[in-house]
Structure 1
Amino acid sequence: MDGKDLIKKAYEAIFQSDFEQAIYWFEEAIKKEPVAADYHYKLSITCARSDKLQKAIIHAETACLLNKEHEEYRYHLHTLQSRNWIEKAENALRDHGTDPSVPITMLKEALKLDPLSAKAYVLLGIAYAAQGHNEQAAECIREALKLDPQNENALKWMEELQRELPET
């Protein structure tokens, strides 16, 4: 089988919701055609959807290296890198011994990579609130709500912050 046949097998597996099998077939296609940027990109998408973020990032980076001009590959890589920063920031927020500025720095980096991440704005708001910077927290939560008006976490935090902010 050539790479295209193996990609077809991967899509068949996806249609059957067998993502592990799809990953296997994408990897087989890459073995046949290691410089096919599109194969790395497709594998990256499937890995990202299967919560294999680090593997997804590696293949997204490879796709970008193989095809430097492809905007979609670069956008995909940035959203994955943003997700990675968000996960690290979430862990830092849970670890109450962490300096509160650490998750803030991580979330700002996440937002540079993906300025449309409502989750990053909500977490940034939570991090600012933890430092007592309620005005900045509310600003972040408002940004999250612009992006996702039904975001339950953002709505909950906005309600909380409105109780604490002075009337303007």
Structure 2
Amino acid sequence: MNGEDQIQKAYESILSQDFEKAIEWFEKAIAAEPNNAAYHYKLSITYARGNKLSSAIEHAVEAAQLEQDNEAYRYHLQVLHARELVERAQRHLSTQTEHAERAIFLLKEAIVLDPLAIEAYLILGEAFAFRNDYGRAHQTVADALRLEPNHELAKQQAERYQQKMKNRD
């Protein structure tokens, strides 16, 4: 069985909602053709959908290294790195208050890597609010709303931060 046959089996598994089986088929395709960047990329996407971020990044790096001129592979890797930074920032915010500054730094980096990462904007807004910097919190969430005007959580946060700013005056 060649790599393409195994890729087809992986897609069939995805259509059947069997993502673990799809991962197995993608891995078999890579074993058959280890230098096929597209296979690594497809496996990376499947891992990312399953929230297996470290494995997703590993295969995204491999795809990007195998085909260095491929914009899609490089962009996918950037988006994964942004997700990784958001997760790290969330851990900083959930552990101790003195980690808010580090979380803010990580979230800003995530937004640079993926300017469409709404979750990063929302968490960054919360980090600013945590420091009682409601002006910056509101501005950050307003940026998210420019990207996704109907995002309910962003609307709620913007309203909450605006109210906090009014209460301070």
TM-score range, shorter chain: over 0.9
1:88-136 superposed Cα distances (whole Å, 9 cap, x missing partner): 1112111234421010011011011101111111111111111121111
Amino acid aligned to 1:39: Y
Inter-partner Cα distance in structure 1 for 2:49 and 2:166: 42
Q: CA deviation at 1:165?
A: 1.6
Matches within 5 A, 1:1-168: 1-166=1-166
5+ residue gaps, structure 2, are none
TM-score (norm 2): 0.95
Q: What RMSD in Å do the two structures reach over aligned CA positions? A: 1.5
SS in 2 for 1:99: helix
Amino acid aligned to 1:96: Q
Higher helix share: 2
Amino acid aligned to 1:2: N
1:69-97 superposed Cα distances (whole Å, 9 cap, x missing partner): 00000111111110111111112111234
Q: CA deviation at 1:153?
A: 2.2
Runs (4+) off by over 3 Å: none
Inter-partner Cα distance in structure 2 for 1:98 and 1:46: 36
* 8 A Cα contact 1:118 1:143, kept in partner: no
Q: How many residues are aligned here? A: 168
Q: CA deviation at 1:16?
A: 0.7
* 8 A Cα contact 2:92 2:103, kept in partner: yes
Q: CA deviation at 1:3?
A: 0.7
Inter-partner Cα distance in structure 2 for 1:24 and 1:115: 32
TM-score (norm 1): 0.95
